């Protein structure tokens, strides 16, 4: 099939919206790009397997049809950057059909190796695929970003990096049902369009957002979500929460280091998830009392001790896992 025929076929599939035909089309393109590798290896371990057991593993990746919709939506010669790109279907499609550029970032070495091998076979540029861990590396500047990524701490980091770019567009496919609501926390993110997903997903639409760059320093009391995203890299911060201790029969500050926390929504409200899994309901009784760098030294002193919570009234207290308390100083 030549390129013109492929364009026509894609347009026809997008108008029919038949899942089986879409999966079939994706599998054909995977076979074309990856050859025999694809039948065994081409799957994205993204935790969606349980939800979509009736679908083949290739259907867990974003369909080429949806990369087509996105790449066609951005102006000519602009770049899309796929953050957590799996087998980098966007980059293959962009090269195959001479669409806009698609830079793919992925950290699983075997995936990147297979992708680079296939890119070389077609003489497509290998520098459009970056083997990088989004937790540690800067992201390239781009006109638009694509995210099909679960809500976790890495996503907080990725969002912070996107907010530092010069007002990009952002396309998001819902992963486990938490990401779209989470993006609703940010006043600098505006929904501007929807595209129908070509494969079954938690949300049937890919959302297109406009992101306004953050030029001002946000005060946590004015907008906690934006403050958190802007400051989460600063590990010196501790956040203190209002906490009632039955043992001491009084309210204390529960001190947590910012790097142990993830910003989430819980029952549509802003909340934080601690590394232990505990959800802190900052709008429902566990309000933030202060945010400070003053307790950094104290946290270092207790680093090797086993405890559940570090609390402060006049003194510092450690709440031990068995419920007992130890006065620290
Ligand atoms: C749900 S898949 C989506 C793949 C592709 N964008 C798609 O839509 O088909 C998410 C991808 O993000 C990658 N990923 C997860 N954490 C990452 C990190 N810290 N750095 C880079 N990639 C990461 C995973 O390995 C996985 O391939």
pLDDT at position 201: 87
Atom number, ligand 1, closest to the C-alpha of residue 82? 6
Atom number, ligand 1, closest to the C-alpha of residue 84? 12
Q: Among 47, 147, 149, 198, which residue has the most ligand 1 atoms within 8 Å of its CB, making it the best to mutate?
A: 149
Task: Kindly list the protein residues whose Cβ atom lies closer than 6 A to any atom of ligand 1.
Answer: 44, 46, 61-62, 82, 84-86, 105-108, 133-135, 148-149, 154, 175
Q: 43: burial class by Cβ within 10 Å (0-12, 13-18, 19+)? A: middle
Please tell me the distance between residue 175's alpha carbon and the centre of ligand 1 in angstroms. 11
pLDDT at position 53: 52
Q: Kindly report the average pLDDT of the chain as a whole number.
A: 91
The predicted-structure confidence for 71-123, as pLDDT tens digits, reads as follows 999 999 999 999 999 999 999 999 999 999 999 999 999 999 999 999 999 99
Q: Which residues contact 163 (CB under 8 A, 6 or more apart)?
A: 186, 188, 211, 213, 214, 229, 230
The predicted-structure confidence for 275-287, as pLDDT tens digits, reads as follows 999 999 998 889 9
Specify whether the CB–CB gap between 195 and 69 falls below 8 A. Answer: yes
CATH architecture type of domain 3-211: 3-Layer(aba) Sandwich (3.40)
Please tell me the distance between residue 86's alpha carbon and the centre of ligand 1 in angstroms. 5
pLDDT (average), residues 214-237: 92
Q: How far apart are CA 296 and CA 204, in angstroms?
A: 44
Cβ-based neighbour number of residue 81 at 10 Å: 25
**Atom 14, ligand 1: which residue's CA is nearest?**
84
Q: Per mean pLDDT, which of 57-61, 158-162, 322-326 is the most reliable?
A: 158-162
Q: Among 107, 113, 155, 201, which residue has the most ligand 1 atoms within 8 Å of its CB, making it the best to mutate?
A: 107
Please tell me the distance between residue 225's alpha carbon and the centre of ligand 1 in angstroms. 24
Q: Among 82, 87, 106, 112, which residue has the most ligand 1 atoms within 8 Å of its CB, making it the best to mutate?
A: 106
First to last CA, the chain: 75
Is residue 329 pLDDT above 90, yes or no? Answer: no
pTM of structure: 0.92
Please tell me the distance between residue 224's alpha carbon and the centre of ligand 1 in angstroms. 27
pLDDT at position 46: 46
Please tell me the distance between residue 191's alpha carbon and the centre of ligand 1 in angstroms. 23
The residue ranges of every structural domain in the chain are 3-211, 224-327
pLDDT (average), residues 288-295: 95
Q: What percent of the chain has pLDDT over 90?
A: 78
Is residue 40 pLDDT above 80, yes or no? Answer: no
Predicted confidence band of residue 47 (pLDDT cuts 50, 70, 90): very low
């Amino acid at each position: 099939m030549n390129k013109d025929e492929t364009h026509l076929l894609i347009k026809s599939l997008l108008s029919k919206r038949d899942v089986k035909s879409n999966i079939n089309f994706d599998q054909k393109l995977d076979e074309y790009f990856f050859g025999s590798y694809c039948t065994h290896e081409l799957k994205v371990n993204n935790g969606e397997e349980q939800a979509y057991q009736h679908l083949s593993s290739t259907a867990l990746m974003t369909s080429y049809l949806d990369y087509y919709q996105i790449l066609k939506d951005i102006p000519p010669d602009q770049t899309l950057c796929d953050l957590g790109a799996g087998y980098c279907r966007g980059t293959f499609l962009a090269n195959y059909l001479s669409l806009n550029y698609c830079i793919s970032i992925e950290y699983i070495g075997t995936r990147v190796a297979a992708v680079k091998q296939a890119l070389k076979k077609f003489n497509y540029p290998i520098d459009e695929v970056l083997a990088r861990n989004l937790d540690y590396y800067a992201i390239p500047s781009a006109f638009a970003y694509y995210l099909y990524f679960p809500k976790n701490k890495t996503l907080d980091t990725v969002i912070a990096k996107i907010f530092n770019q010069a007002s990009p567009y952002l396309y998001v496919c819902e992963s486990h049902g938490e990401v779209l609501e989470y993006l609703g926390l940010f006043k600098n993110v505006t929904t501007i369009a929807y595209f129908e997903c070509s494969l079954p997903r938690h949300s049937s639409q890919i959302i297109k957002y406009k992101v306004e760059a953050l030029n001002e320093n946000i005060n946590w009391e004015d907008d906690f979500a934006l403050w958190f995203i802007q400051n989460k890299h600063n590990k010196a911060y501790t956040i203190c929460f209002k906490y009632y201790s039955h043992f001491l029969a009084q309210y204390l500050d529960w001190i947590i280091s910012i790097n142990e926390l993830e910003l989430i929504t819980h029952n549509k409200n802003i909340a934080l998830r601690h590394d232990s899994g505990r959800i802190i309901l900052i709008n429902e009784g566990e309000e933030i009392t202060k945010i400070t760098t003053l307790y950094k030294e104290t946290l270092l002193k207790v680093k090797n001790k086993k405890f559940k919570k570090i609390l402060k009234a006049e003194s510092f207290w450690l709440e031990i896992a068995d419920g007992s308390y130890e006065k620290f100083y």
